[in-house]
A = this chain, B = another copy of it.
Amino acid sequence: MTDQLILHEYGPSGNCYKIRLTAALLGIGLQRRTYDILRGETRTPEFLREVNANGRIPVLQIGTRFLPESNAAAFWLADRSALVPDDRFDRADMLRWMFWEQYNHEPNVATYRYWMAFVGADNLTELQKMQADGKRAAGDAALKLMDDELRQRDWLVGNTATLADICLYAYTHVAEEGGGFDLSRYPAVQRWLERVTLLPGYITITD
C-alpha cells in the first residue's frame, strides 16, 4: 500500500471508530485529522469543497482521493482481507447487515445517543423532541433483532468475525450512553460485544 491514509474524523463518533477499529484489526496505520462537529467544522466551504460535499465525517483520504461513508471506507480497508467473506452469499449477507445498520440501527441507536449524550435533551429542537421516543423504540427493535440472531450464532455472518460485526459493534457498544438503551435486555448481544473485544488488534473507541 503506497498511498498515505488520513482519516478525517470526530473521535467519539461510532462511524469514525468503525474505520479505526477495522484498520487496527488489519494492522493498517492511519493518520487522524479531527473536526468538531458540534461547532460545524464539517460544514465550512473549504470542507465541503475539498473533503466531502455532503458535509459529514468520517472521510477516508487515500492519497489524493476522498472516500466518504463509514461502511464504504471500512470496506476499502478490508477488501480482500479475512474480514470480507470469500463466499458470494456471505459477502452479500455481510453487506446486508451493513446496509441495515445505516438504515435501521444508526439513525435510531446512534442518533438517540448523540441527541441525549452530546447535544443534550434540553437543547433538542421541538421536532427532535417529538421524534425521540420513536427513535428509542426503533433502536430497541434493532437491538432485539440482533439479539434474536446472535442467540443462534457467534457472529452475524458465517463462523468468524466480518466487517458486519465491526460496523455494528461501533454504536451498539456505546448504546447505553445517553440513557436510552439497556443492553442487559440483550444478553446475546452482550456476549457478542465481549467476543469482539477479544479479536487480536482490538482497540477501544477512546484509544
Contacts and interface: CB of A to CB of B under 8 A. Distances in A.
Interface residues of A, number: 37
A38 interface: no
Interface string A54-68: 100000001001011
A145 B52 CA distance: 10
Given A103-B103, A107-B107, A145-B54, A96 B69 contact: yes
Nearest to A133: B127
Given A75-B95, A92-B73, A104 B65 contact: no
- The dominant DSSP class at the A interface is helix
Interface in A62-113: 62, 65, 67-73, 75-76, 79-80, 88-89, 91-93, 95-96, 98-100, 102-104, 106-107
A28 to B, nearest CB: 13
Q: How many copies does the complex hold?
A: 2
A137 interface: no
Contacts of A130: 127, 130
A174 to B, nearest CB: 19
Contacts of A69: 95-96, 99-100, 103
Interface of A: 53-54, 62, 65, 67-73, 75-76, 79-80, 88-89, 91-93, 95-96, 98-100, 102-104, 106-107, 127, 130-131, 134, 145, 148-149
Q: Which 3 A-B pairs have the closest CB atoms?
A: A76-B92, A72-B96, A69-B99
